[in-house]
Amino acid sequence: MPELLQEGLLGLDYQELSVIAQKHGQPEYRARQLFDALYPQRLAGLDSISTLPKEFRAALKEEGFEIRHPRIEKSFQSVDGTVRYLIAMADGETVETVWMPEGDGGETGDGTEAGDSDWHRATICVSSQVGCAVNCQFCLTAFMGVKRNLSAGEIVGQVIAVLNDRHVDLERQRVNIVFMGMGEPFLNYPQFMKAVRLLVDGVGFPESRMTVSTSGIVPRIHDFGAEPVRPKLAISLNASNDEVRSRIMPINKKWNLEMLMQAARDFPLRNRERITFEYVLLDTVNDSAAHAREVIELLRGIRCKVNLIALNPGPGIQFGTPTEQRVQIFKDLLVKAGIPAFVRRPRGRDIYAACGQLKRTVA
Ligand code: SAH
Ligand code: SF4
């Protein structure tokens, strides 16, 4: 772990804070005060914890410990209410985090800017890495390559920065988290899972309000199934056979559809839980009726639903977006076969905030 991250308190769990308190000869309840300030209260700066003795604060700072939140460098407001945040970490690297309000605020539909207070549900889309190594051919994040993993503190920090910027009261407002921003969460598994635990035990998100999406890192899907506390699982399927999938998602050469679908079948679902399969529709490449029938075969026997996403285009992407009619036909075939299927409407396309568009665009 790089030194600058060690110095931040954000990202430490209760046990780690407890060790620090002990080292300073402080009673156990000081660890609890630190934990409460960091997570449920979302405070920045040790000096804002007025209950903590001055000397202890000073000693912590002496060691380089502080509570630093990632800095919001820029934000871009979409006509649909979506806000894309460019968030800077301590070393200057930036990632993107997206705020998507639902309801009145999020769906003005008439091009007017959505208000801040009139949402009744919102979703935060969080990044897990700076860039991504997986190289899906339809995704702009892939062009960056992967620069580094984010620490648990940086993952939680994105959520806290956005919650504070929107003045969210989690006891009264309903917020979901999706780990669907930049990066492949399952290639940064320990830090991602630590962040999940801090969000659940600390910040106050029920695990049922979180979903993680993976491109199909099969061994980690097995690990994830064994976690006592975990978000819901989404798998980026995106193709109906190995030939197409390997072409658009090179990761399929390492873990092919047979291995992926076996992991999905083995996944221990909870009561009434379903696996979500995401499927980006690329014009004529994976969106024909024959492809839909292959998808139906693949998903047979799995308790799941399918989210269809028509390709969000971008510079350098070699694929086309199917017509709405083609999307509808594909969806209807799945629904007729008994698979719940939904067309995900793009959010914040005008500000490069939609799926696959996160590449730190600054204008
Ligand atoms: N790396 C993980 C998490 C990111 S989720 C994953 O890929 O699953 C991002 C979602 O957006 C994935 O389901 C991906 O397939 C989809 N996506 C990527 N590029 C897209 C694009 N250009 N248009 C629409 N969806 C896209
Ligand atoms: Fe990475 Fe997901 Fe983009 Fe693929 S779709 S390159 S796994 S972020």
Nearest CA-CA partner of 317 in 134, 180, 143, 182: 143
- Other C-beta atoms within 10 Å of 228: how many? 6
| Mean pLDDT, residues 321-325 | 97
Q: Is residue 104 over pLDDT 90?
A: no
> What tens digit of pLDDT does each residue of 204-249 get?
999 999 999 999 999 999 999 999 999 999 999 999 999 999 999 9
* Helices and strands (H, E) in the chain, number of each type: 11, 12
> What is the pLDDT at residue 2?
41
Nearest CA-CA partner of 281 in 233, 334, 358, 210: 334
Ligand 2 binding pocket mutation candidate from 139, 192, 220 (most atoms within 8 A of CB)? 139
Ligand 2 binding pocket mutation candidate from 96, 130, 132 (most atoms within 8 A of CB)? 132
Residue 186 per-residue DSSP state: G
Nearest CA-CA partner of 210 in 193, 183, 181, 230: 230
Which of 125, 136, 139, 355 is labelled catalytic?
355
- The answer to whether 355 is a known catalytic residue is yes
User: Is the minimum distance from the CB of 136 to ligand 2 under 6 angstroms?
Assistant: yes
By three-state DSSP, how is residue 51 classified?
coil
Using the atom order of ligand 2, give the atom closest to the CA of residue 249.
4
- State how far Cα 60 lies from the chain centre: 32
| CATH for 2-63 (3.30.160.60, 2.40.50.140, 1.10.150.530, 3.40.50.300) | 1.10.150.530
Name the residue with tokens 């960056």. Answer: 144
Contact 317, 102 (CB under 8 A): no
- Range(s) of the chain covered by CATH 1.10.150.530: 2-63
Q: Whose CA is nearest to atom 3 of ligand 2?
A: 139
Q: Is residue 307 over pLDDT 60?
A: yes
Using the atom order of ligand 1, give the atom closest to the CA of residue 312.
23
The DSSP code sequence of 56-111 is HHHHHHHTT-B--PPEEEEEEE-TTS-EEEEEE-TTS-EEEEEEEEESTTT---SS
Torsion angle in degrees (nearest 10) through CA of 234, 238, 239, 243 = -110
Using the atom order of ligand 1, give the atom closest to the CA of residue 182.
4
Give the C-alpha distances (Å, rounded to integers) separating 83 from 23, 79, 124: 42, 9, 10
> What is the pLDDT at residue 278?
98
> What tens digit of pLDDT does each residue of 144-170 get?
999 999 999 999 999 999 999 999 999
- CATH code: domain 71-351 is 3.20.20.70
Q: Is residue 105 over pLDDT 50?
A: no
Model confidence band, residue 357 (pLDDT cutoffs 50, 70, 90): confident
User: Is the minimum distance from the CB of 207 to ligand 2 under 6 angstroms?
Assistant: no
Distance (Å, whole) CA 125 – CA 182: 9
- The answer to whether 3 is a known catalytic residue is no
Please give the structure tokens belonging to residue 37: 């300030």
94-123 burial, b for 16+ CB within 10 Å, e for fewer?
bbbbbbbbbeebbeeeeeeebeeeebeebb
Ligand nearest to the CA of 234: 1
> What is the pLDDT at residue 111?
40
User: Is the minimum distance from the CB of 235 to ligand 2 under 6 angstroms?
Assistant: no
Which residues neighbour 194 within 8 Å (Cβ) at sequence distance 6 or greater? 11, 13, 152
- Range(s) of the chain covered by CATH 3.20.20.70: 71-351
> What is the pLDDT at residue 106?
39
How many whole angstroms from 356 Cα to the centroid of ligand 1?
A: 5
| Residue % of the chain over a pLDDT of 70 | 94
Which residues neighbour 241 within 8 Å (Cβ) at sequence distance 6 or greater? 257, 291, 294
Please give the structure tokens belonging to residue 145: 């390559």
Please give the structure tokens belonging to residue 173: 């407002």
How many whole angstroms from 215 Cα to the centroid of ligand 2?
A: 7
Indicate the average pLDDT of the chain. Answer: 93
By three-state DSSP, how is residue 353 classified?
coil
> What tens digit of pLDDT does each residue of 108-140 get?
444 444 455 578 899 999 999 999 999 999 999
How many residues comprise the chain? 363
Using the atom order of ligand 1, give the atom closest to the CA of residue 184.
1
Q: Is residue 309 over pLDDT 70?
A: yes
CA dihedral over 146, 232, 192, 102, signed as positive or negative: positive
